[in-house]
Amino acid sequence: MQKDLLDILVCPMCKSELQLSSEEIIDEEIISGLLSCDKCHEEYPITDGIPNLLPPELR
């Protein structure tokens, strides 16, 4: 996913902003990483450039 996408991604549970950590970025594209929500402490992985924003119970 493009780095710019981070600005519009929100937590699917509480709609607050997500923090990116342990990211691997190549040419402005986030290849892998971990999106975490400060509010509900949920974590969403990015694998192969695709963020998995499904709520935990739907994975």
- Closest to Zn ion by CB, 40 vs 50, is 40
Provide, for the chain, the percentages of residues in helix, strand and coil under a 3-state DSSP scheme, each rounded to the nearest 5: 15, 45, 40
- Closest to Zn ion by CB, 12 vs 49, is 12
Say whether 14 sits in a helix, a strand or coil.
Answer: coil
Q: How far is the CB of 19 from Zn ion (least distance, A)?
A: 11
Please report, as ranges, the residues that interact with Zn ion according to CB under 5 A.
11, 13-14, 37, 39-40
Q: How many CB atoms lie within 10 A of CB 43?
A: 13
Q: How far is the CB of 9 from Zn ion (least distance, A)?
A: 11
- Closest to Zn ion by CB, 30 vs 35, is 35
Q: Given CA atoms 57, 11, 20, 40 in this order, what sign does their dihedral have?
A: negative
